[in-house]
Chains A and B, each alone.
Chain A
């Protein structure tokens, strides 16, 4: 199978402020402008698929892929309900969704498409698709983030996406919806006074953005466990978006990286980043974690140890 054609990748935050209240602070407005830049880039590209991996769509039964052709609802965020409602109607590439499921299963993953009226599409996916593809010019696909999945499973999921893109000959834009540091303030704040929750979070975010700016996506993937320990609230087992993004985009550092915006979103780190495949490589490291092609499930460590 030939390599998939991935035009570029976008890393963007899930919070609703850039969509609902961009005027509330200069920072939210700059994030909105960055989304707008990405929207234009997508429209000017030859993309025929927007593939979204959202960290705010957790799944348990394997990896869920949105399979409804036109999901429609009015969504309200659990925390930021007072900012307003988010009506949406999206156009999904259902044939791609089925192919993605098939490719995931062929690599050993549990996966299923979901196509139910009223299915609750998550805040992050809604924010991304409404800002990046407001007129549904390009069909999209959304995949969940399994709450128990760790590195091997997430990398294999990325490779499955790659298989599906290649097999259908799509020209894809890959979108990862995730904050950087994800610790928010635990009380209500004035948007104009928003800032990153701590200096440590801010420093780590800037280090990550330095890597993004240099196009060092695989290096970030290799650093995921460290990032999770340092600046991620321990809601799930790992910081997975860099694993999935790198695996989907080819596991290398050959990108032109552009950090379009970096701002606080109720204390968490929100950045809009574009990674465009290029020639050459920066900062190759000795990658010390296994590359994995097929997911075999949990290893029976206790059983093996008792032999």
Chain B
């Protein structure tokens, strides 16, 4: 069996607003549009994914929060409705997803062997979080690839962002090893915003773009610092400053997704493909991808 490999890594933020604005048939709410910079960036990255041969998407989500280890979806099908607890007015999405249970079990096994506390989630009533659905829908609206969803263990809450970095790195190493042993071609998805301070009010028309801007300039400057480092291919440096970035901007990186993905990909020293940056209800959202294959790597923006 050939060694499995990671064929692309995607930073894919999950504000439900982008699904809302796309008006897919699965979502009950209706929008007049909005957040085009993000949506068009997502559309372009989705087109790139169509040109890549891969077997499964593996997504690390901040909205399946676990404190007792790292959990993996462990049943082949989940069909239900996901309602965002924060923005139920925008996101009520009827989903029907397939899971690559074999790959999930392999990751769970290898992570367990490396000392990480793990658990397979096999309750059929479990509801898939809106982070997983938003990122995966925007990257693959046809939903024709199986997923593996990994919960975010909240080390940053119990210990510190530094411990989060250590443990998410260890999980990334374990997942990379599991992918190699699986023989599969896998797309990794780190589902989160960068800076993550929200406005606590919402305009009467949520998609009114005249109201949308970053929460404050400090958040913007930090976000741009990370974008610059990504463009320069300095992902080890990004991860090294991750604890400070996370604390300064209340960043959603606190869940460990970007650290996990970069560790699994060996801390790329090549430029990230930048697909778009835009604020959503004050948070900073970047769509980016890391293509290990130089021949297909692009300068997008």
Binding site for B on A (CB under 8 A): 57-62, 74-76, 78-79, 81-82, 84-85, 110, 114, 116-120, 122, 146, 148, 183-188, 233-235, 266
Establish whether residues A186 and B88, one from each chain, have CB atoms under 8 Å apart when the complex forms: no
Which one of B69, B71, B200 contacts A186 once the chains associate, using CB atoms below 8 Å? B69
Establish whether residues B117 and A78, one from each chain, have CB atoms under 8 Å apart when the complex forms: no
User: When chains A and B are docked, how far (Å) is the Cα of A102 from the Cα of B33?
Assistant: 30
Establish whether residues B123 and A76, one from each chain, have CB atoms under 8 Å apart when the complex forms: yes
Return chain B residues, CB-CB under 8 Å to A57: 85
Q: Which of B43-51, B59-67, B133-141 contacts A (4 or more CB under 8 A)?
A: B59-67
Establish whether residues B158 and A114, one from each chain, have CB atoms under 8 Å apart when the complex forms: no
Establish whether residues B200 and A184, one from each chain, have CB atoms under 8 Å apart when the complex forms: no
A187-B69, A187-B117 given; A60·B200 CB < 8 A: yes
Establish whether residues B157 and A85, one from each chain, have CB atoms under 8 Å apart when the complex forms: no
Which one of B85, B122, B201 contacts A62 once the chains associate, using CB atoms below 8 Å? B201
Return chain A residues, CB-CB under 8 Å to B64: 78
Please give the distance in Å from A103's CB to the nearest CB on chain B: 18
Which one of B68, B88, B127 contacts A114 once the chains associate, using CB atoms below 8 Å? B88
Which one of B71, B83, B86, B158 contacts A233 once the chains associate, using CB atoms below 8 Å? B158
B209 at the interface (CB under 8 A from A): no
Nearest opposing residue in chain A for B155, CB measure? A186
Binding site for A on B (CB under 8 A): 64-69, 71, 81, 83, 85-89, 92, 117, 119, 121-123, 125-127, 151, 153-154, 157-158, 198, 200-202, 281
A118-B92, A235-B157 given; A186·B83 CB < 8 A: no
User: When chains A and B are docked, how far (Å) is the Cα of A118 from the Cα of B126?
Assistant: 13
User: When chains A and B are docked, how far (Å) is the Cα of A58 from the Cα of B69?
Assistant: 22
Please give the distance in Å from B208's CB to the nearest CB on chain A: 15
Establish whether residues A187 and B157, one from each chain, have CB atoms under 8 Å apart when the complex forms: no
User: When chains A and B are docked, how far (Å) is the Cα of A242 from the Cα of B151?
Assistant: 31
Please give the distance in Å from B156's CB to the nearest CB on chain A: 9
Establish whether residues A146 and B69, one from each chain, have CB atoms under 8 Å apart when the complex forms: no
Return chain B residues, CB-CB under 8 Å to A78: 64-66, 71, 151
Return chain A residues, CB-CB under 8 Å to B86: 58-61
